[in-house]
Structure 1
Amino acid sequence: MSATADAAASPVSAAAGIRGVLRVTPFRRLWYSTFLSSLGDWLGLLATTALAASLATGYSQQSFALGGVLLVRLLPAMVLGPVAGVFADRFNRRYTMVISDLIRFALFLTIPLAHLVVSADRTLWWLYVVTFFIECVSLFWLPAKDASVPNLVRRDQIEAANQLGLITTYGITPVLGALLFAALARITDALAKHLSFFKANPTNLALYFNAATFLVGALVVYFIKEISGSRGRGAPGTQPTLRSLAREAGQFLRTSRLLRGLIIGISGAFAAGGAVIGAGRFFVSSLGGGDAAYGVLFGAVFVGLGLGMAFGPRFAREVSRRRLFGLSIVASGSCLALTAVMPLIWLAVIFVVLLGFGAGNGYLAAVTLLGTEIDDQIRGRVFAILQTLIRVVLILSLAVVPFLVGAIGTTDITIGALDITVDGTRIVLFAAGLLAMGTGVLAYRYMDDKHHVSIWVDLVTSLRGDSTARRRLHSGGVFVAFEGGEGSGKSTQIGLLAASLTEVGLPVRITREPGATALGEQIRALVLHREESISPRAEALLFAADRAHHVTTVIRPSLDAGCVVLTDRYVDSSLAYQGAGRDLTMDEVRRISRWATDNLRPDLTILLDIDVEIGLARATRSAQADKLEAESVAFHQRVRQAFRTLAESSPDRYLVLDASLPPEELARQILVQVQRLLPARPHSVGSSPTATGEGTVMA
């Protein structure tokens, strides 16, 4: 794993990350509430649109009734969105969510009750009024919920928590809501054969069930004591006014490049999304498809969204989320532009899935950035601003696109003997794709936090899982491990290499295992110089404990600071000495070491290979042998063979040298190999020192 990996990126799989956040009791309860609220929203959308259509007569009236329900669901955000965000930052978020759910429960309950006592026309108007107020209340619930998530989990769990929430909202509950609505409709049909009440009120059962989801959700949130307002705990006299909070949010908008990038990218993405929704039916017709094809194309968007939210982070795990957001928008825009020129429906569906994949990945990156980089005191307002922006952009896009399609009409293009008819939907969709690509590029430029690293190289190394290359790109640190049997001359070669690197001003950190830290010295004395014997498993664990502390306190900080770290022994010594020499399995030792080091691997491992007898004679010439040096020749033969096997299995990571060669020749070959790993510098290694200063050797 990269030493400088993005804070939001996780080294574990998506499934493991989701399991981890679900073990956090407060978050798990919030997820239950999110699930119920989202299920209620989707079920409510289906039930209210179905009711609106049933209350109107004639095709045109039914279309207007359905469109009216959708319109009033979007309009409140234009008025109350920013106010709701200020409210979420000013008042207790738990109470805000509970009261909002109770109000939504009561409002949804009035719809079927009104259907029982008033005429169809009045019921339709009441449906519009209630839907408007339900959306107003939802605007207060959403930022309170979103702003609470980062306070319930660790920082490294925020992406997994957002991932689960978005998959639930856009992947699981839409499907469950549709299935539940269908099931309730079948139950209603069955009951209508025996009870006239259900025949006259076919959607009421679904509406009652929908209201119940919000009542249960309110009860769940009420018992999540960990949710509260970031400012709500202060004394009443010291609490800021709503107006001052609004001014603070405006100031943040003007000064934050992150938020400006998010606003630009999200605006372009949802404008393109609105174009897909607004022109999708006409586009399918231009390809010769009907309602079924339109349903498939519409569903493909949600399939792509779900896949992007679930699996997108795995493909670009170590790419900065700031970069990933803009790249995802560009990718979605490219797919939309390609969709516009597809001649067949099935090809268009493929690119729509890819479009959704990019959009889902980008939206997850945006929500994660808001959770990790926006202070809790302003987070509710920022979430509300973006949610308002999304709704406003969608409204404008849905309103403008049909008129643009109609105004453009169809255009006949003649190229030689070929006559091509281009309809307005393709032109509008292609233009929307270009718009999304442009806003994605702008968002990337505003938010890019790795200007010195090529984005192409960044992506390639991430997709390859090459964490060592990514570390060198981002910090300049290089990690070299020296391995070999006793008396192979590792210390001598480390000293010669450090001197060469220091001559050109490179910072060098010399270290060793075990014993590089105070704790390591105690472990070294225990495993190498104490008289009592230690069992092989205990010995392996002690070496792993030293290594874990060594990596955390010495190696990683030095790499992050751009040092060249030279270590005398690392993981491969444990594999050779404890895995082969002690007859433990290498897989056991490897698992322990990977966990201890958080999978940090050297950029280069230099194996100084030497005949066992010669090496032992060197090692014992000037000092008393330690426990390992005093082992039998057969033990050291197994160790030497293990080192050779490891080198043969990873030739790209190893430099194997004959340690019996003169030290100067070995040093020359090592320097040549290490030089290839170093970042570009104005002076090559081996030249005279630079005029800007000397290097630093830290032991």
Structure 2
Amino acid sequence: MTVLGRRRSTHVLANAPFRRLWTAMSVCSMGDWLNILALTALAGNLNAGDYRTQSLAIGGVFIAKMLPAVLLGPLAGAFADRFDRRLTMFCSDLARFAVVLSIPLVGSYQWVIVATVLVECVNLFWVPAKEATVPNLVPKEQLEAANRLNLLVTYGSAPVAAMLFAALSVMADLVKRLVPPLSGMDATALPLFVNACAYLASAILIFTLRGIPKRDGAISTPSVLKQIVDGWRFVGGNRLVRGLIIGMLGAFAAGGAVVGVAKIYVEALGGGDAAYGVVFGAVFVGMALGMFFGLRLLSGLSRRRLFGLALIVAGMVLAAIALVHNLVIVVMLTVLLGACAGIAWIIGYTLIGLEVEDSLRGRTFSFLQSTARVTLLLVVAVANPLAALFGAHVLGLGDITYQFDGSNLVLLIGGALATVVGVLALRHMDDRKGVPLSADLIAAVRGEQYEPEGGEQVPGLFVAFEGGEGSGKTTQSRLLAIWLRDQGYDVVQTREPGSTKVGMRLRAILLDAAERGLSPRSEALLYAADRAEHVEKVIRPALYRGAIVVSDRYVDSSLAYQGAGRSLDPTDVSKMNAWATGGLVPHLTVLIDTPPQVGLTRLGGAADRIEAEPLEFHERVRKEFRKLAAAAPDRYLVADGMLPSEEITRLIQDRVREILPDPVPRESEDITGTMPAIRD
């Protein structure tokens, strides 16, 4: 968290009513995680002895936990909001206290299921009341910091609860040995008593919280099924978002498989309830490490690539967990698994926030959350019966024996699923196709970005034209596009700036003679923004389908005009444009070298902002173009702009013919066909 974030968070906690509510939320969150661990462990302990029965019993707890939210969420959301919020939360906490306290006292599996359903039904009232209360306790400018703190305790309390569960389980075993009358007590009784006390403490804190306004009317919450149907309409047509959703739902499915069989798998490894708590906590410790450090360690790797790669590695790690029979190694692998999940989760949420329009973002997140909930329910419902159906098996090969149970099978399937989903997500989202993933990853570990020699390898061909004002490059690029189409090639003729809707607006700013006060850095950033949109929306799609792209200007123009002409640091300009283009380099750059004093005289009409610069500026630009061409002669064709136009055209055609692929006739596309003519 940044210094500014810490200041805001501290300031928010200085608000006494919010601090009291946040403390209650912290206690409840820890109680909720402790409740999951204790109930699944108790269900397994009550049905110990038979592998199939134990698997089904634990699966029943998870189904009972998630089913109320799927079926009754909209009803509870609307119903709970009609009541006084403070009273709703207070009564909900008291009800949870009473129900959880009764579980170890009754001590039957049937009551565990009933109590789980009751607690989750009560949660459906508590959560919307809490969510609606927060905005009324803090000013609008502090709401983001308040929500950040809420998320911190919601997920950050999980490893704390896991460690507490492990410690309480060990303590319970010790008490049973030292106090004979309590020897029949289940090891989960103490964690459940502590859990009940957590809800009671929350009730007391909420009861003393004053000033929560009542709400007139109810909030209408759509059903889970309606959220899924509506959400798919928004995300189904976007390739990037579709890849994100597939990846995140696949991760949820794999995670559901892990959660469903974790208890019986830990028992098969010789661990008890304390070991179960440690493994559970290891997942969240790994998630925290992945969220905070994973992105920093691989900052040079494309976020889209990292998302798919994290899922693939998570699948491989999960498969290793399924096959390893050493509890210590399993815990370490679980931390790595959590780290991969944390990286994928934070990237997924960030990319959705960046790529989805604001008007659709809420529905996209709602769709994701609703679908994830259903996915978890279905996977947990299937995972445990599958483990039970497969049963326990001991494989023998001579003197070597290997135990492979249903839990191993489920984890292995989960690992395979995560790997396949990761590959699919990577194929959908990869923004550096043609760049070897291994080389890209090695460079990212070194803190660098991999740039292949000769540019990115793509199916199509990329030819860029460069030159000063009035050099003739626009004419020559148009003639080349016509010639290539006559040869039967699919050609995309484009330009910079202004080949996209955003680019046309940027072009109007950049070339407007009235914008004389635009700073050099701002100018360089605007050109890079246009280029990023140009590459993403026009150039890459054409290259990936195998077309030939002929562009009037590209990165070298920024290096020449902003780097040399505006005297900006060429390294900064180069890095900025490499990031904007994803490292995409033309296969051939044609430089039409024309003296500025000649080229400027060829221009007609009023001069734009760039053309109006003094001759010294254009001399620096020409010098930089020649310098760039001299540094990479294999990629450049330098044509003398003083030669007759026909001779320049012949030189360009001869050079392009050397790198042309076999023609594949396709419907041609001219990006600039509807645009007004551009002066060279």
Match of 1:198 in 2: none
Q: CA deviation at 1:279?
A: 1.4
Preserved CA contact (<8 Å) 2:591 2:637: yes
Describe the shift of the 1:341–1:35 C-alpha distance in structure 2 as closer, same or farther (beyond 3 A): farther
- The reply to whether residue 133 of structure 1 matches residue 118 of structure 2 is yes
Aligned length: 592
Preserved CA contact (<8 Å) 1:278 1:398: no
Q: How does 1:386-397 map to 2 (within 5 A)?
A: 386-387=372-373, 390=376, 393-394=379-380, 397=383
Q: CA deviation at 1:413?
A: 1.4
Per-residue CA deviation, residues 252-298 of structure 1 (Å, 9 max, x unaligned), is: 8999998999878745542344334311233256xxxx998776655
Cα distance in 1 for partners of 2:376, 2:260 equals: 10
User: Alignment partner for residue 557 of structure 2, among 573, 576, 582?
Assistant: 573
Match of 2:257 in 1: 271
Cα distance in 2 for partners of 1:32, 1:70 equals: 35
Letter in 2 for 1:526: A
- The reply to whether residue 508 of structure 1 matches residue 486 of structure 2 is no
Match of 1:435 in 2: 413
Cα distance in 2 for partners of 1:391, 1:91 equals: 24
User: Alignment partner for residue 104 of structure 1, among 92, 96, 105?
Assistant: 92
- The reply to whether residue 498 of structure 1 matches residue 481 of structure 2 is yes
Letter in 1 for 2:334: V
Match of 1:42 in 2: 30
Q: How does 1:90-489 map to 2 (within 5 A)?
A: 101-108=89-96, 110=98, 121=105, 132-139=117-124, 169-170=154-155, 172-177=156-161, 210-213=199-202, 229=219, 231=220, 266-267=252-253, 269-283=255-269, 297-308=279-290, 311=294, 317-318=303-304, 324=308, 331-342=313-324, 347-360=329-342, 383=369, 386-387=372-373, 390=376, 393-394=379-380, 397=383, 401=387, 407-408=392-393, 410-414=394-398, 419-423=399-403, 426-437=404-415, 439-440=417-418, 450=428, 481-485=464-468, 488-489=471-472
- The reply to whether residue 639 of structure 1 matches residue 621 of structure 2 is yes
Per-residue CA deviation, residues 518-547 of structure 1 (Å, 9 max, x unaligned), is: 8746753527xx9xxx57xx3526744863
Letter in 1 for 2:663: H
Preserved CA contact (<8 Å) 2:432 2:582: no
Q: CA deviation at 1:420?
A: 0.9
Cα distance in 2 for partners of 1:429, 1:51 equals: 19
Name the SS for the 1:334 alignment partner. Answer: helix
Preserved CA contact (<8 Å) 2:456 2:584: no
Cα distance in 2 for partners of 1:271, 1:478 equals: 45
Cα distance in 1 for partners of 2:191, 2:337 equals: 37
Describe the shift of the 1:183–1:443 C-alpha distance in structure 2 as closer, same or farther (beyond 3 A): closer
Letter in 2 for 1:435: I
Cα distance in 1 for partners of 2:528, 2:45 equals: 70
Preserved CA contact (<8 Å) 2:22 2:150: yes
Match of 1:82 in 2: 70
Cα distance in 2 for partners of 1:546, 1:265 equals: 38
Q: How does 1:579-594 map to 2 (within 5 A)?
A: 579-586=563-570
Q: CA deviation at 1:135?
A: 2.4
Describe the shift of the 1:637–1:49 C-alpha distance in structure 2 as closer, same or farther (beyond 3 A): closer
Higher relative contact order (CA 8 A, sep 6+): 1
Describe the shift of the 1:388–1:33 C-alpha distance in structure 2 as closer, same or farther (beyond 3 A): farther
Preserved CA contact (<8 Å) 1:510 1:567: yes
Match of 2:636 in 1: 655
Cα distance in 2 for partners of 1:370, 1:92 equals: 30
Letter in 2 for 1:40: C
Q: CA deviation at 1:499?
A: 1.9
Preserved CA contact (<8 Å) 1:502 1:694: no
Preserved CA contact (<8 Å) 2:37 2:277: no
Preserved CA contact (<8 Å) 2:305 2:426: no
Match of 1:238 in 2: none
Match of 2:511 in 1: 524
Letter in 1 for 2:638: L
Cα distance in 2 for partners of 1:380, 1:451 equals: 22
Preserved CA contact (<8 Å) 1:506 1:695: no
Cα distance in 2 for partners of 1:107, 1:391 equals: 25
Describe the shift of the 1:494–1:76 C-alpha distance in structure 2 as closer, same or farther (beyond 3 A): same
Name the SS for the 2:269 alignment partner. Answer: helix
Preserved CA contact (<8 Å) 1:143 1:383: no
Match of 1:616 in 2: 596
Name the SS for the 1:491 alignment partner. Answer: helix
Letter in 2 for 1:137: V
Match of 2:172 in 1: none
Cα distance in 1 for partners of 2:535, 2:421 equals: 35
Which consecutive unaligned segments of at least 5 residues does structure 1 have? 1-13, 150-159, 186-200, 233-241, 677-681, 685-689
Preserved CA contact (<8 Å) 2:395 2:401: yes
Letter in 2 for 1:655: Y
Cα distance in 2 for partners of 1:659, 1:162 equals: 62
Once the two structures are overlaid, the 10-residue window that deviates more, 103-112 or 259-268, is: 259-268
Cα distance in 2 for partners of 1:60, 1:620 equals: 87
Name the SS for the 2:636 alignment partner. Answer: strand
Cα distance in 2 for partners of 1:92, 1:178 equals: 30
- The reply to whether residue 667 of structure 1 matches residue 652 of structure 2 is yes
Name the SS for the 1:604 alignment partner. Answer: coil
Letter in 1 for 2:73: G
Preserved CA contact (<8 Å) 2:80 2:125: no
Cα distance in 1 for partners of 2:654, 2:203 equals: 71
Name the SS for the 1:175 alignment partner. Answer: helix
Describe the shift of the 1:349–1:180 C-alpha distance in structure 2 as closer, same or farther (beyond 3 A): closer
Describe the shift of the 1:438–1:581 C-alpha distance in structure 2 as closer, same or farther (beyond 3 A): closer
Preserved CA contact (<8 Å) 1:303 1:353: yes
Name the SS for the 1:318 alignment partner. Answer: helix
Preserved CA contact (<8 Å) 1:108 1:210: yes
Which consecutive unaligned segments of at least 5 residues does structure 2 have? 135-144, 170-189, 237-241, 676-680
Name the SS for the 1:683 alignment partner. Answer: coil
Cα distance in 1 for partners of 2:424, 2:582 equals: 32
Cα distance in 1 for partners of 2:56, 2:568 equals: 72
Preserved CA contact (<8 Å) 1:30 1:224: no
Cα distance in 2 for partners of 1:577, 1:694 equals: 29
Q: CA deviation at 1:173?
A: 1.5
Letter in 2 for 1:337: A
Describe the shift of the 1:522–1:457 C-alpha distance in structure 2 as closer, same or farther (beyond 3 A): closer
Cα distance in 2 for partners of 1:51, 1:558 equals: 55
Cα distance in 2 for partners of 1:634, 1:47 equals: 74
Paired-residue identity, % = 25
Q: CA deviation at 1:422?
A: 1.2
Q: CA deviation at 1:566?
A: 4.5
